[in-house]
Amino acid sequence: MHETDMTKALILTVKDWLSEQSGHPVVERIHLTVGQFTCVEPASLQFAFRAQVQGTFLEKSDLVIEETPLLAFCHPCQQEYRPEIGLQYACPVCQSPLEDILSGRELKINRVEFSQPTSV
Amino acid sequence: MHQTFDATLEMNLLHANQHGADKNRAQLDSWGITCLNLMSSPGSGKTQLLEKTLQQLNSELQMAVIEGDMTTQLDAERLRRCGVPVIAINTGRACHLDSRMVAGGLLQFANEQQPNEFDLVFVENVGNLVCPAEFEVGEHAKVALLSVTEGEDKPLKYPIMFREADCLLITKIDLAPFLEIDIETIVANVRQINSKADIFLVSAKTGEGLDHWLDWIRQKTPASCC
Ligand SMILES: Nc1nc2c(ncn2[C@@H]2O[C@H](COP(=O)(O)OP(=O)(O)OP(=O)(O)O)[C@@H](O)[C@H]2O)c(=O)[nH]1
Ligand SMILES: [Mg+2]
Ligand SMILES: [Zn+2]
């Protein structure tokens, strides 16, 4: 269950970030981008997140996951293409190997929505 | 009253792990040690390859192993018989090593040995074809193993490890004659996703092909030229 470890890493990262903020921010929503060409399954990640944040500072926070498709760029063809994961990664036109990945490798915390008790 | 804010983080989900890996690498660099991370599915032959490699390079290089295993010390004990220090890390339920575990291993290594005298540390990752590829531990190069008994399609089904590998060892080639396996197809499948990795065919059992692998290690280990 690597999603469990990913979640641990996610919580650590948000915790680190939070410790650098002033005041007492409360995390409302965490926005992630998870590429299709990673070893992370969004549903499992969501599940692991809910299980692990129980009783922590993130208990009331939502996890919003956006998935990005695997998109590659073929230099000989100067063309984007969508490899078929599990079947075919080379360029379907000229068979050049998968080189540049334009999207699909993201495992990113994009942004955090948080609230701050307003001081009067 | 609460006010809501939006903060852009644009931060890698594995930021904490990555940071730890960079620290481990800096530590290794300060000792003049090259670190190779060996990854494969369970039973592809990581430990047996290491046994042969340690035996063959023992007179040239000072080596150590960080051995990741979910529960047992079996592999660590096998490797200790090769006469090198082995730091065993039981990962528990975690199916891969992460940089924090390896940092602990390096600390233990530094306490027990003179790290400056070493040239090369092998990390044997937990047998798993999926996650270790996403968790850098501070290695200078990633070595993936795929045994001929696993089938030609594995690089297509588990592309990330093969994409990330700097070196791919196709192992147990002594068994190829008994199987219906086409090694050229394995290589072609790897080449679809990784045009740069150095690929070697090896058998830890017969020793076939090991010379190329040992030369590759020598190239990665600056100390070996002096
Ligand atoms: N025929 C043959 N068998 C091999 C070779 N290398 C390893 N084996 C056998 O394959 C089995 C697994 O080898 P290990 O070296 O333990 O594999 P591993 O990758 O370390 O396994 P885990 O650490 O459990 O993931 C053992 O029974 C080895 O004897 C080889 O080159 N040829
Ligand atoms: Mg082993
Ligand atoms: Zn093309």
**Predicted confidence (pLDDT) per residue in A63-107, tens digit:** 999 999 999 999 999 999 999 999 999 999 999 999 999 999 999
Residue B223 has pLDDT above 70, yes or no: no
Query: Contacts of residue A115 in chain B, CB cutoff 8 Å?
Result: 2-5
b/e sequence B8-36, b meaning 16+ C-beta within 10 Å = ebebbbbbbbbebbeebbebbeebebbbb
Please tell me the pTM assigned to this model: 0.91
Structural domains in chain A? Answer: 1-14+25-68+104-120 (3.30.2320.50), 70-102 (no CATH)
Specify the pLDDT at position A120.
55
Query: Contacts of residue A1 in chain B, CB cutoff 8 Å?
Result: 93, 95
Homologous superfamily of B2-225: P-loop containing nucleotide triphosphate hydrolases (3.40.50.300)
Confidence of residue B117 (pLDDT cuts 50, 70, 90): very high
Specify the pLDDT at position B7.
84
Query: How many other CB atoms are found less than 10 A from the CB of residue B61?
Result: 19
Chain A interface, mutation test: which of B6, B13, B96, B164, most A Cβ atoms within 10 Å? B13
Q: Which of B10, B95, B195 sits opposite A97 (nearest CB)?
A: B195
Q: Is the dihedral of CA B10, B14, B16, B19 positive or negative?
A: negative
Token couple for B150: 């696993």
Give the domain ranges of chain B: 2-225
Residue nearest to atom 12 of ligand 1 (CA): B43
Residue nearest to atom 4 of ligand 1 (CA): B172
Residue B154 CB–ligand 1 contact under 6 Å: no
Maximum CA extent, chain A: 65
Helices (H) and strands (E) in chain A, counts: 2, 6
Model pLDDT for residues B22-37, shown as the tens digit of each residue: 999 999 999 999 999 9
Percentage of residues of chain B with pLDDT beyond 90: 81
The number of the ligand 1 atom at minimal distance from the alpha carbon of B75 is 23
Chain A interface, mutation test: which of B8, B98, B134, B154, most A Cβ atoms within 10 Å? B134
